[in-house]
Structure 1
């Protein structure tokens, strides 16, 4: 499960900014095409945070849907993570994936 190693990296990064303060909550944005399974993050979080400043912290995951830029429509269109890179409205192929690859810490709440 690579989610555990990803979360250990998150905990390491949070420890760097928490400066010894107790962490209450950590927010993550996770894109639907990132290869990360949000449910696996929830299961791995208790293990990843052991013996760290995140020991009792809650993990808040925000799932970011995949979206492409459609040159024909002139706007972003949300796509299912399993769709080919085409506009779901007009069918125009596009390789311009605007959202869906995210995996980033968005906030850290500390005491």
Structure 2
């Protein structure tokens, strides 16, 4: 399950950011990720791996929030992004125009982190 490895890297990035913060971070409350439907990461597996990835770290009490980004391609005929599924055949699913210009769906990114600092009320 590569989701555990992905989340371990996310936790390490949060720990680095917390160490570089201008105020001492006392607690991470939420870690938010953007995950594309064609990124290769399975949201259920991410949630299942989260307790293992955060154990014994600054993120130990943090929740994981995922924003799932649907996969889309730009269709020049429709002149807009069109949602696709995992069986995408390099044509617009609405009009059949050939297109391979994927605009969304491969994202796996740390969106934001919510934390408390020692000088927070």
Structure 2-normalised TM-score?
A: 0.88
Aligned to 2:80: 75
Deviation (angstroms), 1:6? 0.3
Aligned length: 111
Aligned to 2:15: 15
Cα separation, 1, equivalents of 2:65 and 2:6: 15
Aligned to 2:41: 36
Unaligned runs of 5+ in 1: none
SS at match of 2:81: strand
Unaligned runs of 5+ in 2: 117-121
Deviation (angstroms), 1:81? 2.7
Structure 1 runs of 4+ with >6 Å offset: none
Structure 1-normalised TM-score?
A: 0.95
The structure having more radius of gyration, on CA atoms, is 2
